[in-house]
Structure formats: structure tokens, C-alpha cells
Homo-oligomer: A and B are copies of this chain.
């Protein structure tokens, strides 16, 4: 068996493999600030692509971007009881506004604030304050606001992209005249996240609703997309919340309705974060490192000139530049294909492996022999398949080739999920499933929150989501008839 670029292998130690993939692809690193990460250029370029695509999708859904304060006064947090309960344990608190030297010559915080400020763990309460000013009549509704921002939640066990003390995200906040409209809006947000995950990240997701136990603090309903990683654990990749009138009451978001009466508005919110990066990595990467879907790769193609003799150098580089220019005239999904020509004077093997580990979809190695034959030596990263092609034909089919890779990545992830999803009908079978390989266990469930908590305690397994209604069956634990079908899994 050949040696792989990443050690340990996925099968040996998945969490450690993940850390190595992130490091070898140069995506991010831990900073000296406990729990905070540095997103390096290659990682950030992927995030920028995520932002660009998703931002367009959100705007098509009527969202308008805006920006609200990083700091939330303590009194705002207090307004919604379950909200503060949910976030109190992980809030970074600003208490001073100055530094000064103490008598020992040490720098210490000075000028304490009258009211401490919380660094936003989410922005419902602070955006709610603006909404209460902006909205007077039903004519001002609906309002759909999106914010790209950094968020702080104090994580005790941080992991790059998956759980970091500070992370980047988008948060949508909407206000509506009726309950139905707000619920529908949450569903629309979820649909948008699903489309994005499947069509751009090539990550298949389940759509469903959280049980009360896993609900967003303050929400009446939390909808989610869940994706199966290659260790068969589930990653919550995005959420949308129907907030009822909870935050309207807390922030006094009221309007004069069509009937002339003052009433509380109905709100919804939703978001996805840099956690998506973790999902992207754990869905597609292999034992040679990162594998990027063409639609989100910062560059689709790396051209590596192969120079064995110095006298060829100028010719080969000239040929590669010309090839780059030709490829860049091709469009993929309305954008010119992005090509990097890596002419660095370093060992050719090392250079190739750098690009493999970075997950670039296609690698072209070009030497004098290829130039003579007008042919290309292509390495397709997904599947690590090598093949040759004539230059003209290859370029003519390039858009199709990229689409095929994108499609096959989605299909491969979908097959993996299907193979690792099982319908389960009894507790014994359930316990056995998670004692073996595990994955997604689909069951009817008529139990209560206590039963969920017990299962979490016992097997470290939770309900990832309640599936849309689809017939009736017997609860796998109580045997009672129910229409509630759920998906259980270990999770991130």
C-alpha cells in the first residue's frame, strides 16, 4: 500500500487526522489567545467564496445587509429569560475601558464601566432594539436584515472551525406581521442553507426540527440542517429559528396592525458560521488531505511546470503562462476559472504534494514532452485519478469536468450517508447500532425529554432532528404509536 500524505489515517484517529488536514492544507492555526483561531489565506479564501455565494442567495431572498454593535449591555441580555440562561455560561464580559500601570509597573484594567458589556454571542437582543425603533405600522413589515459578523461564545474545548471561542458567521433577523409568515421565513432560511450546502459545498444534509432539548434559547422552533461526517458523527451545519413573539416582547417590537390595534411582531432568525469549513473538510477530505469542491475552491487548477534542464526553463514557463491564459478564458458558473501557475523553484514532488494537500481540484504537470505532444498530464484530486488528454479537448470539456467532480463529490457523500443510515425498531437494535459502527439511526420516537437525556448520558447519542411527518409507527423505546420520526446520532 502506498504511503498517504496525512498521518494518522482517518480510520486510525479521526480527530487527529482532522487537525493534520487543516494544518497541511494551511487553512488555519490556533492562536496564542486560548480558543481563538487564525484563519490563514487559503482557509479565508474558501470562506470568502462561501460568503460571496451565500450573500447573493440571501439577497435574492430579500435580505438586506446591515451592521449592529459588537457589545450588548447586560440589561438587554436579561430581557428574555431562557435566552440569558442559554448563553450566560459562555459570555465574554467587558468591564473596563482603559489600561494603566499599577504601582508594581504592571499593566492592569482601569476605569470600570457602570454597566458591563457582553461581547455578542448572537444578536437577537441588540438588533431587537433597533427593530423596535424602526417599526411602527404593518406597512413597515416584513423586515429582513442580515449581518456578517464575529461572535464570541466561551468554549472550554475548542477545535479549529468546529468550536472556537470567536467565530465568523452570518445572522439573519426578520420581523413579520403574522405567525405564519415568520414560521415560513424560518423555513425559507433553512431551504437556502440546504441549497447552499448541497449545490456548493457538495455536502448532503438532512432538514428537520430540533427537539426542545436542543432548541435555540428563546426559540419556539429551531430548524436545522445536519450533515454526516466521515466518522459517521453528525454536524449541525446551519439553523433557523421561529422565535414567536418572545423577542418582540423582550425588545418591545410592536406595530399598529391592519385592524388599528397595537400588537407584538413575530420574528425569526437563522445563521451559518465558519463551522461550515469544518463540515466541508470532514465530508470530503481523504488520507492525502483536503479535497475541495470546484465551486468553492479559491483556484480550480494548479499548473506545475516540470523543468529538468535549465535550458528548457524559459520555454516551459512561457508555455505554461500561455496555457494559464487560455484556461482563464473559460467560465465556470459565471466566473472565469481561476488558475495558479506555481513556478517556485522548489522540489517538484514536494510542490505537487502541497497542492494535493490543499485540495485544489485539478493539477497539471507540464514538461517538454507534454509540450511536444500538445498533451496534458492531469491529476484529478477527488479520487486521485491520473489521466492524459490533448490540450484543446481538455479545455473544451473543462466546465463539464468541473461539474462532474462537483456532482460526484455530492453523490459520494450521499452514498456514504445512506450506507450509514439505518431504520431501527427496538432499543436493543439501537444500542447495538451505536456499539458497532454507528451513524444515523432513524426511529419513531414517542418518548420525552428525560428519555433523550438518558440516551445522551448512556450512549452519547442525541436526536439530531425530527423529520418531516411521514406516516405512523411504533416508538423504538416505548412501543407506543407515534407520527414522530427522528434521527439519532453522535454529534459535534
Please name the residue on chain B nearest to A147 by beta carbon. B44
Our pick among B92, B93, B97 for the contact of A154 (Cβ within 8 Å) is B97
- Distance between Cα atoms of A107 and B74 in the complex (Å): 8
Q: Residue of B at shortest CB range from A26?
A: B134
By a CB distance below 8 angstroms, the chain B residues around A22 are none
| Chain B residues closer than 8 Å to A145, beta-carbon distance | 41
Q: CB-CB < 8 A to A33: which residues of B? A: 69, 71-73, 117, 126
List residues 22-59 of chain A with CB under 8 A from any CB of chain B: 29, 31-33, 36-41, 44-45, 47-48
**Nearest CB on B from A434, distance (A):** 33
- A99 at interface (Cβ–Cβ under 8 A)? yes
Shortest C-beta distance, A464 to chain B (Å), equals 28
User: In the complex, are the beta carbons of A84 and B107 less than 8 A apart?
Assistant: yes
Contact with B along A59-91 (1 / 0, CB 8 A): 000001111111111101110000010011111
A67 to chain B, nearest CB (A): 4
Chain A 348-365 residues near chain B, CB threshold 8 A: none
Residues of B within 8 A of A118 (CB): 99
Query: Whole-angstrom distance from the CB of A273 to the nearest CB of chain B?
Result: 13
Residues of B within 8 A of A109 (CB): 93, 95, 116
CB nearest neighbor in B for A43: B66
Query: B97–A95 contact, CB under 8 A?
Result: no
Taking CB atoms, residues of chain B closer than 8 Å to A94 are: 92-95, 119
Is A313 an interface residue, CB under 8 A from the partner? no
A98 touches B107 (CB 8 A): no
Tell me if A133 counts as interface (CB < 8 A to partner B): yes
A195 CB contacts on chain B under 8 angstroms:
none
In the complex, the answer to whether B90 meets A97 with C-beta atoms within 8 Å is: yes
In the complex, A15 Cα to B172 Cα: how many Å? 34
A67–B43 Cα gap in the complex (Å)?
Answer: 9
Q: How large is the interface on A (under 10, 10 to 19, 20 to 34, 35 or more residues)?
A: 35 or more
Do residues B67 and A44 form an inter-chain contact, with CB atoms below 8 A? yes
Contact A69 B166 (CB under 8 A): yes
CA gap between A96 and B154 in the complex, in Å = 10
Q: Nearest Cβ in chain B — how far from A194, in angstroms? A: 26
* Nearest-CB residue, chain B, relative to A113: B92
Distance in angstroms from A85 CB to nearest chain B CB is 10
Q: A19 an interface residue at 8 Å Cβ cutoff? A: no
Minimal beta-carbon separation of A83 from chain B (angstroms): 12
Instruction: For the complex, give the distance between the alpha carbons of A150 and B151 in Å.
Output: 11
Counting CB contacts under 8 A, is A415 at the interface? no
Q: Is A67 within 8 A of B93, CB to CB? A: no
Quick check: is A290 within 8 A (CB to CB) of the other chain?
no
**Alpha-carbon gap, A37 to B71, bound state (A):** 11
Whether the Cβ atoms of B71 and A133 lie closer than 8 Å is no
Q: Are A107 and B29 in contact (CB under 8 A)?
A: no
Which one of A39, A70, A73, A94 has the highest number of Cβ atoms from chain B below 10 Å of its Cβ? Answer: A94
- Within the assembled complex, what's the spacing in Å between the Cα atoms of A88 and B99? 5
Q: Are B99 and A36 in contact (CB under 8 A)?
A: no
Task: Give Cα A150–Cα B133 distance, bound, in whole angstroms.
Answer: 24
Q: Which residues of B contact A88 (CB under 8 A)?
A: 98-100, 107
- Inter-chain contact B31/A129, CB cutoff 8 Å: yes
CB distance B66 to A38 under 8 Å?
yes
Whether A69 contacts B107 in the complex (CB less than 8 A), given A33-B126, A76-B32, A150-B150, comes out as: no
Q: Once the chains are docked, how many angstroms separate the CA of A44 from the CA of B147?
A: 10
Query: Does A48 contact B77, Cβ atoms closer than 8 Å?
Result: no
Whether B91 lies near A129 (C-beta < 8 A) is: no
* Interchain CB contact under 8 A, B41 and A73: no
Closest B residue by C-beta to A100: B88
Is the CB–CB distance between B44 and A66 below 8 Å? Answer: yes
Closest to A149 in B: B150
With both chains docked as a complex, state the minimum distance between the C-beta of A39 and any C-beta of chain B, in angstroms: 4
For A99, give the chain B residue with the smallest CB separation. B88
Name which residue of chain B comes closest to A97, CB basis: B154
Complex Cα gap A126–B36 (Å): 11
A68 CA / B44 CA spacing, docked (Å): 11
What are 20 A-B pairs at a CB distance below 8 A?
A: A29-B130, A29-B133, A31-B129, A32-B129, A33-B69, A33-B117, A38-B130, A41-B66, A70-B152, A71-B166, A74-B99, A87-B99, A88-B107, A89-B99, A90-B98, A91-B98, A93-B96, A93-B109, A95-B95, A99-B118
